[in-house]
Every structure is written in C-alpha cells, then in structure tokens.
Amino acid sequence: MLVSGIVIRFFADNEYVNSAESEMKTLIKNAMTTASIGDTSTVENFSLSESLEGLGIALIVLGVFFLTISIFGFLGGCCKIKIMLIVLDDAVKQQLKDKSLKKYTGLGGINLESLTWNGVMMQFKCCGVDGYQDFKTYSPDWEHTGIQIYGSGTYNIDMPLACCKTLSSSAAPACAQASSDENYKTKVGCCYDR
C-alpha cells in the first residue's frame, strides 16, 4: 500500500494516465450531450493526475499506519517484547469498541456490524470485546429495552441474545436478562487473551 501510494503520488502524471483521462472526458462529454445534462465545458477542468495525487497521499498515510502496526506485532511476537503486544492489543480493542460496537443494533440487526458481531459471538461462544457490559457502554443503538421477543410480551435484556448459550422459542429470554456466569456463553469477551 505504501509503495502504491508513492508510485501514484509521484508518478501519476504520465502518458497512460493522460490517455485514460482523455478517454474518460470524451465518454463523459458524450453522455452529458446525449442526456442533455449540464455544461460539457466543466469536464475540461477535471484533472485525473491531480485526483490521483490525493489518493496517493491517502495510500501513503495508510501504508505507514499499517507498517507501524506490523512492526509492533512483529517485534512483540518474535522478540517477545510484551509491552508492544499490549499496546497493540489495547489499541485494537478500543477501535473495535469505538467503531464496530457503536453500530451494533442487536440480534435482528441487518447492518454489517450487527451481523458480524452476532456471527462471531455465536460461533466463538464469546460476548463483546471484553464482556457483555461493552454493549451498554458502546452501543447506543442496541435494542435492549422494551423489545418483543418470541412474539409474546416485551422484555428488557442486559446482554445481546447472541451471547446466550441457547435460545428457546418457548421461554422468555432469561439468559439475556441476568448476567450471571451460567447464563451467558463465557465469562470473557471475544478479545480475551487466551
């Protein structure tokens, strides 16, 4: 990624890019003329090489970020420098909480984050990043109060239903209402250091 960013940033103004830009401008102008949309002279102001320079900078920044994470992981794992693994582990956990859990909506959620978390928790028999408490803290859209489950009555739950050992269609979701050890799949979250 870093090399791609350097190549794009410093070598974007070449014959291939200029040829592609010319073809693209012709296609766009023809489409605009055919559809009678807008002024085709505005297309001439577009510069593919300038746009690619911004992309190149973004790739360089991302490349440096991933390189840094890789170095921390390599030195921590191979050279047994535990502090580097701890720093890396804590940073990854916090990002999962801040970004991924923030969009979690519950077992019925159809967004990518909800589907991913539900699948991971059910497959690996874990709950949240550090435990079921993560959801009340980091998931503002998680539906856990007054939800209708099994088509009868509404319930307040303390943890996601995906954390339950078993889900029965004939009983209230007791597993998600109490947070004692025997009621949820594991005492630890999905990022527990095993």
Going from N- to C-terminal start, the domains of the chain cover 1-80, 103-194
Which of 32, 52, 51, 49 is closest to 40 using CA atoms?
32
Q: Residue 140: what pLDDT?
A: 92
Residues of the chain with pLDDT under 70: 35-38, 76, 79-82, 84-88, 149-152, 167-173, 178-187, 192-194
Q: Residue 108: what pLDDT?
A: 78
Q: Residue 59: what pLDDT?
A: 84
CB atoms within 10 A of CB 141: 13
Q: Residue 124: what pLDDT?
A: 82
> In the block, which residue shows the tokens 């594991």?
186
Q: Residue 39: what pLDDT?
A: 76
Q: CA separation (Å) from 148 to 140, 143, 151, 191?
A: 18, 10, 6, 30
What does the longest C-alpha to C-alpha distance in the chain come to?
Answer: 69
Share of the chain above pLDDT 90, in %: 4
Name the residue type at position 155: Y
Q: Residue 178: what pLDDT?
A: 64
Q: CA separation (Å) from 116 to 40, 121, 153, 171, 174?
A: 44, 9, 27, 26, 24
